Structure 1
Amino acid sequence: MASPFNVTVPVDEPEWNSAPAWKLPGWAEPIIVASILFGAMALTRRRGYRVFDKSKSRSVYTRLEDPDSNRSSDELLPFYSAEDSDQDFPSTSKFAPKKRNCCGTIIHTPNTSRFKNNIHSRVLQRFPFLIEMFYWIINYAFYRMTSITSQRIFAKTGIWNVAQTHGIAVLETEQFSWISFLFPVPERSVQQWFMHGHQDFLTVLNKCYALIHIPGTVGFICWYYYVAPSHKTFAIARRTMTLTNFCAFITFILYPCMPPRLLPVEYGFLDTVRHDDAQSVWMSGKYVNTLAAMPSMHFGYSFIIGLTMIYHSGLFRRTLEAGECRKSAFWKIFYLVLGLGYPSFILTTIVATANHYYLDAMVATCFVFLSFACNKVFFVFIPLEDLMLWAIRVDKPVPTTGDRFRERGGRI
């Protein structure tokens, strides 16, 4: 059935005159991301702890000793207490099972502290950020599967046609539904403004779209792991971002959506990514989902980063965390401007380059708030994590998040 709405426009597309600002070789982006990750791994290493010299590590490890070896997972569980762990196990066993609360059910899992002197446990204790790297590898693997899964679901109807229908439906919703007042300036008008006399700036936005998303998000995770006043605070941001990811992945699979730049030419959008050769290595390959406009994770990530920056400024908090000091006026304003400016810049970028609709950013924003409210859902996986660590004979490390904060008296 044909749509009663018409969102096509007469096309008078100006010629693309701007030359690409720069082009990175295919190996450069992975090197950049790997450098950020391994740099963070070195920066957040546990000082005074030696992997191969236990005698020099003994004094450091004494402070980390815990009879239940709860490690970073259990500091996130307010309903778990070390005192409770021995009530059901009065034996003299040094490695009594851990007591986990999973969906209201008490589960006893193996205690991995017996493996604390295994070489891979000591490597993790020295470089606890490796755990965070592992989490994000899992995230990336799930994303890679969204394209394959979606194609199989819509194999009979043709995923390209379905995604195009969804993209047009998004445009119609923005222009003709009851929420149309939220979008006074159409996306194509934004792009046309850049195309008429501001193509050099659009070239910069193309490159930023391609090259900031992954390195910028990875860099934020590394930075906040280092500067957050506590691992609990860091974990809230990380879990929120991870749950937002999974909400987006489900949407990518069930609601494939064509970005504006790939719609037929009569809809008035220019594919500046191809014109400007602004293709990221993370956006290419057969496993990359090019029909995943809804929601925009470019904006979703930037929105989480922006909110975290504002929180970190301390500007709107009456009370600070234990040991945390008030920042100077300069740093408060700096983090506030960054927190507001970064998501605003990304929103401009995704619309001007015709990679996303406004509605993509709106849905991403809703997913962020939902994920923040429900981020503790990941606690249900802690028993599974215990079993996995037991299977590979490794003890989970105590995070170093907050160590530098405490060492410097909160002045970071």
Structure 2
Amino acid sequence: MSKWAPVRYADGRPVKFWNQLAIALVFYFGYEYTSQLASGSTSSARRNALWEVSVEKRLHFFVEQKIQHFFLQYLWLIKLSNFFYVTVHFILPVVILVLLYRRDASRFLRYRNVFAWMTAISFVIFIVFPVMPPRLLPASFHFIDTQLKFGGAGKLDATLMKEAGNPYAAMPSLHFAWAAWCALGGYKVIKSKLLRYLLLADPFITIFVVIVTANHFFLDIVGGALVLFVSMVLAGIKKKNMRVDSGWFNPIQ
């Protein structure tokens, strides 16, 4: 496909940019709506977080606090992690979607559907199963809110995060799910080997970041991986020779 050729469905119809933008806005405002629904659910979010802690303790991998406290001695790394947490998570998926849209119509439509399913499923979970992140647990757990204490994200610090977004959306970890989605979806459309390696490293960097900043439990990351897997199944991403206009979820076309 030519660099400037229009993106088209299998039947020849163009994939309209404004329709894709409308889809993105629906999911953005959907997230804002779940934030409002989750407000006032502090007790439920704390109870669910404590349940996750108990599960991890039984499985002998409740180590988030130890990991965070080890890396607190490297303040530059903590500040960099704070910055990464509130920037890359939102910017990279947009970049990948644009690259997919311009370079591979079939791949764009498939991974757009995966992204839509993944985000929609997460919205539902956020509402029915709110989970408080480690940084908001009682002081007896000894987690530190690194953005509140150390900063590093400029204006996108803890104050902004408390005012915008759902503070009890720890399970599943969309930070990890979106990072893994970016790696899977964007790998084949990025030509630079260095950028490919960085993209593949992003999910692992994200795991490190969400743990040292006390924004997620390891169980949340597992949840994010499961949501991504289910979304790929629902979107038919594994079907061979799948037409670009197939799949369960084909929003505004």
* TM-score computed with the length of structure 2 as normaliser: 0.83
For 1:29-40, list aligned pairs within 5 A: none
- Matches of 1:312 and 1:232, distance apart in 2: 12
Structure with greater Cα Rg: 1
Aligned counterpart in structure 1 of residue 47 of structure 2, from 165, 174, 179: 165
The equivalent of 1:218 in structure 2 is 94
Residue 213 of structure 1 and its aligned partner are, at CA, apart by 1.4
Aligned counterpart in structure 1 of residue 219 of structure 2, from 350, 354, 359: 359
Seen in structure 2, the aligned counterparts of structure 1 residues 132 and 284 have a Cα distance that, compared at 3 Å, is: farther
Aligned counterpart in structure 2 of residue 302 of structure 1, from 179, 184, 188: 179
The equivalent of 1:141 in structure 2 is 29
Counterpart amino acid of 1:352?
Answer: V
Aligned counterpart in structure 1 of residue 133 of structure 2, from 255, 259, 262: 259
The equivalent of 1:373 in structure 2 is 233
Q: Does 1:280 align with 2:162?
A: no
Counterpart amino acid of 1:283?
Answer: M
Which one has a larger percent helix, Structure 1 or Structure 2? Answer: 2
Aligned counterpart in structure 2 of residue 248 of structure 1, from 118, 122, 127: 122
Aligned counterpart in structure 1 of residue 83 of structure 2, from 196, 207, 227: 207
Describe the SS at the equivalent of 1:378: coil
The equivalent of 1:238 in structure 2 is 112
- Matches of 1:249 and 1:211, distance apart in 2: 20
The equivalent of 1:344 in structure 2 is 204
Residue 311 of structure 1 and its aligned partner are, at CA, apart by 4.5
The equivalent of 2:242 in structure 1 is none
Residue 335 of structure 1 and its aligned partner are, at CA, apart by 5.5
- Matches of 2:130 and 2:205, distance apart in 1: 25
For 1:8-407, list aligned pairs within 5 A: 72=8, 75=10, 128-151=16-39, 159-176=41-58, 180=59, 183=61, 186-195=63-72, 197-228=73-104, 231-277=105-151, 278=153, 280=156, 283-285=161-163, 288-312=165-189, 331=192, 333-334=193-194, 336-375=196-235, 376-379=247-250, 381=251, 385=252
Residue 370 of structure 1 and its aligned partner are, at CA, apart by 0.7
- Matches of 2:56 and 2:176, distance apart in 1: 18
- Matches of 1:189 and 1:303, distance apart in 2: 25
Residue 312 of structure 1 and its aligned partner are, at CA, apart by 4.6
Q: Higher RCO, 1 or 2 (CA under 8 Å, sep at least 6)? A: 2
Counterpart amino acid of 1:159?
Answer: S
Q: Percent identity?
A: 24
**What does the per-residue CA deviation read over 1:252-285, in whole Å, with 9 as the maximum and x for residues that have no partner?**
0000100000001111100111113346387343
- Matches of 2:64 and 2:249, distance apart in 1: 36
Counterpart amino acid of 1:254?
Answer: V
- Matches of 2:82 and 2:71, distance apart in 1: 11
Residue 193 of structure 1 and its aligned partner are, at CA, apart by 1.1
CA-based RMSD of the aligned residues comes to 2.7
Residue 128 of structure 1 and its aligned partner are, at CA, apart by 3.8
Residue 225 of structure 1 and its aligned partner are, at CA, apart by 1.6
Unaligned runs of 5+ in 2: 236-246
**What does the per-residue CA deviation read over 1:97-116, in whole Å, with 9 as the maximum and x for residues that have no partner?**
xxxxxxxxxxxxxxxx9xxx
Whether the aligned pair in 2 keeps the contact of 1:162 and 1:256 (CA below 8 Å) is yes
Describe the SS at the equivalent of 2:166: coil
